[in-house]
Amino acid sequence: MQKEAITNDDIAVYVKAYTGSERLKNSFDYYRAFLQSANQNLSHTNKLAIPILAIGAEFGQGMNMGIAMQKIAVNNVQSASIANCGHYIPEEQPEELLKLIIPFLESDNNK
């Protein structure tokens, strides 16, 4: 994990984003809706037929992102786990993330 990736300035942005009862309520609503969201997802039986890039982190979801996407996709799931990384992939390993995203977006599968 890259603990130094999240700076005090970053934390201040997060604190500001969640400051106030309405903002805090909205952030909690995301978690309150998990059961409803899960039930809605179960009602969708069509699988995705688009190219998918599933990215996890070594100290986060790892390859589980790809495993989850394979369950809901027809095919064409590319999976990766970024080493030495925790939950905040763009902040912790931005260069490694771009090494995965840019070729995926530029590939013929996405045109």
Instruction: Name the residue ranges covered by the structural domains of the chain.
Output: 3-110
Residue 3: is its pLDDT beyond 90? no
**pLDDT at res. 44:** 85
CB contact set of 80 (below 8 Å; sequence gap of 6+): 53, 54, 55, 56, 66, 100
Q: What is the per-residue pLDDT for 75?
A: 86
Mean pLDDT for 27-49 is 92
Domain 3-110 = CATH 3.40.50.1820: yes
pLDDT score of 60 more than 80: yes
Nearest to 6 by CA among 98, 67, 94: 94
Picking from 98, 100, 111, the residue whose alpha carbon sits closest to that of residue 50 is: 111
Give pTM, 2 decimals.
0.80
How far apart are alpha carbons 24 and 26 in whole angstroms?
Answer: 5
